[in-house]
Amino acid sequence: MTNFHHDNQGIPGAPGVGGPGGFQMPQAQAPGSGGPGGFGGPGYGLGAGYGGGYGGGQQNPSYVAPPTSGYAPPPGPPPSMPGMPAGPGFASGYAPPPGPPPSSYTGALGQQYGQQYGQQQYGQQIVTYYLNTPIPPLDGPPPTQGVPGHDGYNGNADVEKLRDAMRGIGTKESLLIQTITPLSAMNLAILSATYRAATGKELIADVESETSGRLRDVLASLVLGPVEYDVKLLHEALSGAGTDEHLLTSLIADRSPSDLYLLNQAYRARHRRTLEEAVKGDLSGKTERIYTMILASNRPSDNTPVDLQLVEADVKALYKAGQGKIGTDEIAFCNIIINRTVPHLTALWESYQRQHGKTLSKVIKNEFSGHTKSTLLHIVTAANPKHITDGPRVWRDVKLLEATMKGMGTKDDLLIRRLIRTHWDQIHFTNVKRTYERKYKKSLEARVASETSGDYKKACAHSEDSVQMREILNEVVYEL
């Protein structure tokens, strides 16, 4: 059974949120103290215990974060039109340059970047974005009105349901699941704060103490929220007897600049060292090199227009570094793959295959080995032009989910990780489910239900799509 409690340095995660017409997932903010071994003191993020630099402080009104669907708007303000006021989040001035600040930026400058990246202004309120999903601010109470995910919810009635579910001997798992899973992230953040005010306890701590096994793993993972859950997984990947390179790749490779910056800040706040320091302390050789290159990269955001001249220059450079010579110039090859956007890699794949008769994935398999090969493949398969119409990264994530359930037995830990991490981005997860059903002739909900049982099955079904929650519950036998 996985222990989700950390040391007493807690930085609660900030969960995702389902927008109108989308699905709303069972995430909850988990701030404050969970008792011995639990989260730290009250507050909603790094601002409570660590100061700025992690989505905290005052927002620069000129910055516009990525929306919850598609790609982010282009850098800078929208074109001005006579008589048209700036929209939410748009004001005079320009957006910061794409990508996180160089790792050498510290102090006030680093905090300034931390306040800008992954955030959007709604009047005087701030919504931070992570995994293309709006999350509550990490250094203060949840927003009130006029922001994504807020619908006037106050949490009092649900606090009573939760107290009923966890009161006395035994736990009413069904009531616990049904109370938590229908709520948006903003509402769950409100619920966590309301629960603390009403009980003097933390929701995350009580959920962990009142559940067990895989059900506990699923619910606690959701309650942590996307940032803190990723920090937890990073710690797992980089601690213990050996490094879990495959998990590390899934967490840091092919991430947006703002996500990678926020993740590094969260990890540093909790573990008192940067991700780059952790990687260098745990790995060596070529494996250390590629992860260090990823963490130090300054990849543009995916909304950046594709530079066709740069695409052709990259085709020549990749051929020269690999297929066109004896041996491989690994640094030159990795530098291109790591620092290009998904649309750029799609164009690069097509042009390279047209000119040299091989796909990028085939070239990587021929030129590399070990974790460098698997990491580069993870990045480029997100941009495979054969499947890009399904959406960036969709085909890859469909195959990764199926791999956890294929063959004898279900890889439960891996299934939980991939379901939880995939579902944060609602648009992406909708595309994943649609593509999964088209490829395997069975819905992902039904596939997961066939591979799990009892409360664990019920929680997994919830975590896939709470819009279909009632239908799923009617189809799943509740096995106590």
Computed over every residue of the chain, the mean pLDDT equals 73
Q: Which of the following CATH numbers is that of domain 119-224: 2.70.98.10, 3.30.930.10, 3.30.830.10, 1.10.220.10?
A: 1.10.220.10
**Cβ distance 418 to 60 under 8 Å?**
no
Looking at the predicted structure, is the pLDDT value of residue 70 above 70?
A: no
Give the pLDDT mean for 39-66: 32
**What is the predicted pLDDT for the residue at 108?**
37
Q: What is the C-alpha separation between 159 and 196, in angstroms, rounded?
A: 9
CATH of span 308-390: 1.10.220.10
**Cβ distance 404 to 452 under 8 Å?**
no
Looking at the predicted structure, is the pLDDT value of residue 272 above 90?
A: yes
Give the pLDDT mean for 77-94: 33
Q: Is the dihedral of CA 235, 241, 246, 249 positive or negative?
A: positive
Give the pLDDT mean for 452-462: 59
**Is residue 12 very low, low, confident or very high in pLDDT (cuts 50, 70, 90)?**
very low
**Is residue 283 very low, low, confident or very high in pLDDT (cuts 50, 70, 90)?**
very high
Q: Do domains 119-224 and 308-390 have the same CATH topology?
A: yes
- Ranking 84-93, 103-112, 254-263 by mean pLDDT, the lowest is 84-93
pLDDT greater at residue 174 or residue 148? 174
104-145 per-position pLDDT tens digit: 333 333 444 444 456 766 666 667 788 887 777 766 666 665
Tokens of 237: 């990947």
**What is the predicted pLDDT for the residue at 198?**
96
**Is residue 227 very low, low, confident or very high in pLDDT (cuts 50, 70, 90)?**
confident
**Cβ distance 207 to 176 under 8 Å?**
yes
414-420 contacts at long range (C-beta below 8 A, 24 or more positions apart): 415/448, 415/451, 415/452, 415/460, 416/214, 416/217, 416/218, 416/221, 416/460, 417/221, 417/233, 417/247, 417/250, 419/448, 419/460, 419/463, 419/464, 420/218, 420/221, 420/222, 420/229, 420/463
Give residue limits of the domains in the chain: 119-224, 227-296, 308-390, 403-478
The helix/strand/coil state of 283 is coil
314-367 per-position pLDDT tens digit: 999 999 999 988 889 999 999 999 999 999 999 999 999 999 999 999 999 999
**Is residue 275 very low, low, confident or very high in pLDDT (cuts 50, 70, 90)?**
very high
What percent of the chain is predicted at pLDDT more than 70?
63
**Cβ distance 422 to 380 under 8 Å?**
no
**What is the predicted pLDDT for the residue at 181?**
73
Tokens of 407: 């063959």
Q: Looking at the domain 403-478, which fold is it?
A: Annexin V; domain 1 (1.10.220)
Q: Specify the pTM.
A: 0.71
311-328 per-position pLDDT tens digit: 999 999 999 999 988 889
261-265, 402-406, 432-436 — most confident range: 432-436
Q: Which CATH class is domain 227-296?
A: mainly alpha
> What distances in angstroms separate CA 185 from CA 6, 27, 150, 226, one per listed residue?
22, 6, 9, 10
**Is residue 23 very low, low, confident or very high in pLDDT (cuts 50, 70, 90)?**
very low
Q: What is the C-alpha separation between 188 and 176, in angstroms, rounded?
A: 13
Which residues lie below 8 Å from residue 186, measured CB to CB, with a gap of 6+? 17, 134, 136, 142, 143, 147, 148, 149, 150, 153
Looking at the predicted structure, is the pLDDT value of residue 94 above 70?
A: no
440 burial type by CB count under 10 A (0-12 exposed, 13-18 middle, 19+ buried): middle
Which residues lie below 8 Å from residue 298, measured CB to CB, with a gap of 6+? 98, 99, 100, 102, 257, 339
